[in-house]
Structure 1
Amino acid sequence: MNDLTSLRLLALSGAVFLVACGGGDDTVAPPAPEEARAQDSRTFTPADPTGATFTALANGSPETDGASRYAGVLNGAAYRVEVPAAWNGKLVMYAHGYAGTGSALGVQNPSIRRHLLQNGYAWAASSYSKNYYDVRAGVEDTNALALEFNKITAAAGRPLAVPTKTYITGHSMGGHITAAAIEDEAYTTANHKVKYHGAVPMCGVVGDTELFDYLAAAQVTAQALAGVPKYPIGGWADIKASVTANLFSTFTASTAVPTANGQKYALVMQNLTGGPRPLFDLGFGGPYTGVVWGTFGGDGTVNGIFNKASADTNRFTYTIDGDTAGSTALNDAALKLTAATDFNRLRRDGLRWVPKVNGEFKIPVVSLHTLGDMYVPFSMEQIYRRRVEAKGNGAWLVQRAIRGAAHCDFTVQEQVAAFDAMVAWEGGGAKPAGDDVLTPATVADTTYGCTFTNNTLGTDESAAVNASRATIAAARPCP
């Protein structure tokens, strides 16, 4: 019996078993239900409940124009499936990122949709049955859709063989879903079980709940440096204006210019997000510092995903480079937060509320992360590497640093290269090249991230990438 199975049995030990005597019939009472949380009472509806089909790819080709497209609703989640005419037998599951707290559920197409179809891959994507930061729903609904693939196509008049390979990829929260879905724990505890053959998590929360710790640390250090160190984090609205004015001379939707005191905060944030590295300054001065600011003031339950506080700042040592006395004073002053010990425990009704990324997998994984990301910082990749190495699985993980200044602002070519590298590796090719994410001197080198950055822009780039890549390349050129 493995450790995880033992833990699941222990989780079941709270059940009361009643045996009725006489007649030889044993009656076993079901276990008590798991406790409810705010997320469980929320109602969500697919934005397109009729399941109308979606449109063909713009500026298409014979491979994309001839694809079969299917849309519908499965277990309360909307979905899209697309299969090229010359299908290669492989299926790619796409997991979208955080979609906010609204009640409408929407499906997002993969950013490499054109590449997938032109190369024979089918793809499928779920809206998930719930919004908010519900990674549990994301894993279950993505897995359920993968298992339903053949029924969906057959019902539409195109019966297909079972996929020979199933891969998974996703952005941001979808990167968390991707990384969690391939874990041994997820396969053991999920209600819908899928064995994936390879994965590409992009800008992912691959440190799972440690992201919440980082966001809390970003808040308590801002408060401390601005002179309100012990103010409760839930009272952020009361002090937001004064803290912002203390640390920034300009703070808009697109620009954050630090004051002299704010420069100290920038150094703290640099070390919280992965250490000195190229493009940190562009990321800190850009719009995602404001996005991070917008996460402050929560009660630690991640908007009702948990019932208890999840953020913990006790492990952090805050550093203002070149200022030993200031660093000591900051660590003494900053509010310390401690998470409830069981806020994200194993459950007997399926996955944890926020599934773990433990580093327990033995399939090819190629991850991407931009260096300037403040929202889901590059430090997530460092946490991921340490966890995977601790489990003895480091040989299965390749990580690539990209010279982008914001969250998930990859070019399509960078994403295609990572996907193709993973598939070739999974198919028996050599392990692809990646970046060292742990050695400080390597990460701090001015050329770090140049190897896998590709500033070539194509038809399907996001507006953010189109607007920023040329500027970034000119400001921080690679040799």
Structure 2
Amino acid sequence: MTNGTRTALATALLLAVTAIPTSAVAAPEAAHIEGRLPSGATYLMDVPADWNGTVLLFSHGYRPMGAPNPAQNAPDDTTKALLLDRGYALIGSSYASSGWAVTDAVPDQLATLSVFKDRFGTARRTIAWGQSYGGLVTTAIAERAARRIDGSLAMCGLVHGGVANWNNTLDPVFAVRTLLAPDTDVPLTGFEDQAEATAAAGTLTAAADAAQKTTTGRARLALAAALHNIPVWNDPSQTRPAATDWEAQQANQFPALRGLIQLPAFSWRQEAETRAGGNMSWNTGVDYARLLGQSSVRKEVTELYKKAGLSLGKDLATLNKAPRISADASAMAWMSRTSAFTGKLTKPQLDIHTTGDALVPVQTESALKRAVTAAGSAPMLRQAYTDNAGHCTFSPAEQLSALHTLEDRLTTGRWTGTDPDSLNSRAAKADPTTPARYVPYRPAPYPRPYDLAHPADGR
């Protein structure tokens, strides 16, 4: 073959290659993957074709035993679509069990992250985020597996930890039993099984329903609600009551208090006690007058007592004199070891919370701040609040705003834009179709804090 022939063939080949239409070049495809971990947990991954290099590890909220437990990788469908459109990879697991499943949830989430890395390679950035009970899981990951993530976002989270949660869940039902069902021997802890827990819940629910029909009963129910800091506007369907409309405030609190009695205080507690091996909470040494004094709704209680002609001091004395409940030492140790926080954050964490949350009251944020401050990690934590009723009732815009603010912290090395105006401006840009309601807010102290940064907390 002559040199001229070779040149002609090379030229023809080059022209043929450059003439291939661009549509014939394979483009990256979006991936949707479902699978199962060795633990039995399922996982879910969505990776857009134009992945931006950031993976978001989502931890879902509490699911009672027996309820469906699918894998979840985003808080809601609208937020999920917005994130995928912006190039984020979304992953998450079901956890191997439901209920108080922190000992399954943390390793299953980390295992899901490993599966993602094996399939798609190392992410440029990894952010753990979660809502409700998933906020507890997220914060546990932030403390125990910080090397696996770059930052964390806890939304409406149980960031006060398990011991504090179960202690403060005990307080309102202790008040209901003592003041409204004093002649019953209904157990508040140490249930043999779900049947006993359900029966106990039924007894106190009936007592609460009867009390709601009288002015004296409503005053005492308001006291019980105040011990849990149940907000006076806690459901988006409710009318927001006026600042001095005490009756409307209590009427709004009652369904939330009733719901607390029916599920968390009994059924969910029994499941958690089974895991812990006994009762993990106590009210020995608790001064209920002091707890009421710290409550965000104490004024409502004092006014309703006045209207009912009751002595608040006498009822508080009755609570303080009533036989107390002690924790089982080994159960409490298990809950402390698995579900309490040290406050040691080595990577940035942003928390957001609605001000009108009855299930996980906004005061839980005070408990986490207390722990983080004592541990010397305060520069790593920022907290922001939205003015809305309900548990985890954030708009997609509010969630994206928080995520982008955390991302800025990871990029620049300093916190900026965590004030309400900046968060709302960023939310409006992220999704102008949904609300932006960040407000200046400082929650009251959490009534029964417990963390591993304070050795004297109940130990």
Q: Is the 8 A contact 1:203 1:368 kept in 2?
A: yes
Task: Establish whether residue 165 from structure 1 lines up as the match of residue 125 from structure 2.
Answer: yes
- Correspondent of 1:305 among 275, 280, 283: 275
Residues 34-433 of structure 1: pairs in structure 2 closer than 5 A: 67-75=30-38, 76-102=40-66, 104-111=68-75, 112-151=79-118, 153=119, 160-183=120-143, 186-187=144-145, 195-209=148-162, 210-228=164-182, 231=185, 232-233=187-188, 236-237=200-201, 239-249=203-213, 259-273=215-229, 281=249, 284-285=252-253, 287-294=255-262, 295-297=264-266, 302=272, 304-314=274-284, 316-318=286-288, 319=292, 321=299, 322=302, 325-326=313-314, 328-345=316-333, 354-428=338-412, 430-432=414-416
Shift of the 283–72 alpha-carbon distance from structure 1 to 2, 3 Å rule, reads: farther
SS at structure 2 position matched to 1:377: coil
User: Which residue matches 2:445?
Assistant: none
The one-letter amino acid paired with 2:317 is: A
After TM superposition, give the deviation of residue 203 of structure 1 in Å. 1.0
Q: Is the 8 A contact 2:231 2:357 kept in 1?
A: no
- Single out whichever of 387-396 and 425-434 deviates more from structure 2: 425-434
Q: Is the 8 A contact 1:236 1:296 kept in 2?
A: no
After TM superposition, give the deviation of residue 98 of structure 1 in Å. 1.2
Shift of the 71–460 alpha-carbon distance from structure 1 to 2, 3 Å rule, reads: farther
1:172-209 CA-to-partner distances (Å, cap 9, x unmatched) read 111110011111xx23xxxxx85211111111111112
Q: In structure 2, how many angstroms separate the alpha carbons of the residues matched to 1:451 and 1:248?
A: 43
Q: Is the 8 A contact 1:274 1:379 kept in 2?
A: no
Q: In structure 2, how many angstroms separate the alpha carbons of the residues matched to 1:317 and 1:137?
A: 36
Percent of aligned positions with the same letter in both sequences? 22
1:34-90 CA-to-partner distances (Å, cap 9, x unmatched) read xxxxxxxxxxxxxxxxxxxxxxxxxxxxxxx96321111112111111112122222
Structure with a larger share of its residues in helix: 2
Structure 1: tracts of 5 or more residues without a match: 1-64, 154-159, 188-192, 250-257, 436-448, 474-479
Shift of the 411–80 alpha-carbon distance from structure 1 to 2, 3 Å rule, reads: same
Shift of the 289–132 alpha-carbon distance from structure 1 to 2, 3 Å rule, reads: same
Q: Is the 8 A contact 2:35 2:42 kept in 1?
A: yes
SS at structure 1 position matched to 2:275: coil
Q: Is the 8 A contact 2:343 2:371 kept in 1?
A: yes
Q: In structure 2, how many angstroms separate the alpha carbons of the residues matched to 1:315 and 1:83?
A: 52
Q: In structure 2, how many angstroms separate the alpha carbons of the residues matched to 1:284 and 1:199?
A: 33
Runs of 4+ in 1 over 6 A off after TM superposition: 274-280, 453-461
1:140-195 CA-to-partner distances (Å, cap 9, x unmatched) read 100111011132x3xxxxxx431122110011111110011111xx23xxxxx852
Shift of the 328–289 alpha-carbon distance from structure 1 to 2, 3 Å rule, reads: closer
Q: Is the 8 A contact 2:212 2:221 kept in 1?
A: no
After TM superposition, give the deviation of residue 296 of structure 1 in Å. 3.0
Q: In structure 1, how many angstroms separate the alpha carbons of the residues matched to 2:102 and 2:257?
A: 24
Q: In structure 1, how many angstroms separate the alpha carbons of the residues matched to 2:319 and 2:278?
A: 25
Q: In structure 2, how many angstroms separate the alpha carbons of the residues matched to 1:73 and 1:460?
A: 37
Q: In structure 1, how many angstroms separate the alpha carbons of the residues matched to 2:421 and 2:177?
A: 36
SS at structure 2 position matched to 1:71: strand
Q: Is the 8 A contact 2:344 2:372 kept in 1?
A: yes
Taking structure 1 as the reference length, the TM-score comes to: 0.66
Q: Is the 8 A contact 2:136 2:161 kept in 1?
A: yes
Taking structure 2 as the reference length, the TM-score comes to: 0.69
After TM superposition, give the deviation of residue 360 of structure 1 in Å. 0.9
SS at structure 2 position matched to 1:342: helix
The one-letter amino acid paired with 1:77 is: A
Q: Is the 8 A contact 2:273 2:280 kept in 1?
A: no
- Single out whichever of 231-240 and 198-207 deviates more from structure 2: 231-240
Q: Is the 8 A contact 1:313 1:338 kept in 2?
A: yes
Q: In structure 2, how many angstroms separate the alpha carbons of the residues matched to 1:194 and 1:283?
A: 47
The one-letter amino acid paired with 2:182 is: V
Say which one has the larger Rg.
2
SS at structure 1 position matched to 2:265: coil
SS at structure 1 position matched to 2:36: strand
SS at structure 2 position matched to 1:400: strand
The one-letter amino acid paired with 1:73 is: R
The one-letter amino acid paired with 1:116 is: L
The one-letter amino acid paired with 1:273 is: N
User: Which residue matches 1:55?
Assistant: none
Q: In structure 2, how many angstroms separate the alpha carbons of the residues matched to 1:433 and 1:402?
A: 15
Shift of the 113–224 alpha-carbon distance from structure 1 to 2, 3 Å rule, reads: same
The one-letter amino acid paired with 1:381 is: E
Shift of the 283–110 alpha-carbon distance from structure 1 to 2, 3 Å rule, reads: farther
1:7-32 CA-to-partner distances (Å, cap 9, x unmatched) read xxxxxxxxxxxxxxxxxxxxxxxxxx
Q: In structure 2, how many angstroms separate the alpha carbons of the residues matched to 1:230 and 1:113?
A: 49
After TM superposition, give the deviation of residue 340 of structure 1 in Å. 2.0
The one-letter amino acid paired with 2:73 is: N
How many residue pairs get aligned? The number is 363
After TM superposition, give the deviation of residue 269 of structure 1 in Å. 2.5
Q: Is the 8 A contact 2:72 2:91 kept in 1?
A: no
After TM superposition, give the deviation of residue 136 of structure 1 in Å. 1.5
After TM superposition, give the deviation of residue 117 of structure 1 in Å. 1.8
Q: Is the 8 A contact 2:350 2:406 kept in 1?
A: yes
Shift of the 417–315 alpha-carbon distance from structure 1 to 2, 3 Å rule, reads: farther
